[in-house]
């Protein structure tokens, strides 16, 4: 059974209205960018509730976002979302379906990331970032430094989501802030890209809610669990 709190419905509707208004006010309207933002904000509300459907929608968003990024020579975004975020989201959808909180409930079981797990994740993030820096530089990626930083935050966010950690929301929030800067730089040259700026401002609000709600989910699950919280 799927229930949304009134606050969640308000957040979702506000998000849809905000990106729609930004699209309508844009001098140059881009349908792919608009579709990506609508699907993206819808995905986030499901992810915030720990519903695997959110990960399926994230895959669709990643593909559309990659197309928008390619057209503006943000090859880092294109490669990151198409080659990393989309596949990890697909794997996360499978992992979430296989780890429900309880039988008959689509809410995913929250896991705890250990210190060892975090160190390993940080090492992998450093290696991925270093590799991507040289790849993106060779491709002549626009705003190289910001694009490279986006790779780091995206890797952390996607990985923490796959690992079912509540801290995914903070990682995605950090990624949103980086992308707000990145797309603001693009919007200064092409006003149609302000839609993407608004998109990631809205994403930031949704990801903060996701972090808050996953903390609530973890507390609820811990109170009713018959076994200790799974550690990764």
* pTM recorded for the entire structure: 0.86
Per-residue pLDDT of the chain (232 residues; tens, 9 = 90+): 557 889 999 999 999 999 899 888 877 777 888 898 899 999 999 999 999 999 999 999 999 989 988 887 778 778 888 988 899 999 999 999 999 988 778 899 999 889 899 999 999 999 999 998 998 898 888 788 888 998 899 999 999 999 999 999 999 999 999 989 988 988 888 777 787 788 889 999 999 999 999 999 999 988 876 655 666 6
**Residue 191 maps to a domain:** yes
**Residue 181 maps to a domain:** yes
SS (H, E, C) 57-101: HHHHHHHHHHHHHHHCCCHHHHHHHHHHHHHHHHHHHHHHHHCEC
Q: If we measure between CA atoms, which residue out of 160, 170, 5 comes closest to residue 96?
A: 160
Number of domains in the chain: 1
**Residue 192 maps to a domain:** yes
Dmax over CA atoms of the chain, in Å, equals 56
What is the residue range of 56's domain?
Answer: 6-221
**Residue 227 maps to a domain:** no
**Residue 231 maps to a domain:** no
* Separation of alpha carbons 135 and 28, rounded Å: 31
Per-residue pLDDT tens over the stretch 160-207: 999 999 999 999 999 999 989 988 988 888 777 787 788 889 999 999
**Residue 229 maps to a domain:** no
**Residue 23 maps to a domain:** yes
pLDDT of 227 reads 59
**Residue 205 maps to a domain:** yes
């Amino acid at each position: 059974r799927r229930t949304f709190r009134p606050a969640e419905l308000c957040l979702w509707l506000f998000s849809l209205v905000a990106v729609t208004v930004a699209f309508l006010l844009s001098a140059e309207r881009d349908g792919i960018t608009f579709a990506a933002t609508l699907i993206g904000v819808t995905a986030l509300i499901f992810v915030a509730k720990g519903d695997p459907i959110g990960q399926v929608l994230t895959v669709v968003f990643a593909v559309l976002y990659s197309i928008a990024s390619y057209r503006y020579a943000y090859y880092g975004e294109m490669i990151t979302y198409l080659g990393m975020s989309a596949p990890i989201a697909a794997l996360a959808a499978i992992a979430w379906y296989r780890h429900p909180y309880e039988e008959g409930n689509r809410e995913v079981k929250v896991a705890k990331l250990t210190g060892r797990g975090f160190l390993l994740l940080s090492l992998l993030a450093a290696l991925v970032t270093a590799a991507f820096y040289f790849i993106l530089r060779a491709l002549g990626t626009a705003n190289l430094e910001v694009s490279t930083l986006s790779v780091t935050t995206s890797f952390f966010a996607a990985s923490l989501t796959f690992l079912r950690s509540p801290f995914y929301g903070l990682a995605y929030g950090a990624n949103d802030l980086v992308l707000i800067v990145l797309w603001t730089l693009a919007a200064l040259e092409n006003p149609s890209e302000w839609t993407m700026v608004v998109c990631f401002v809205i994403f930031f609000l949704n990801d903060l809610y996701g972090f808050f709600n996953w903390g609530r989910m973890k507390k609820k699950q811990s109170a009713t669990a018959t076994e200790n919280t799974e550690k990764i």
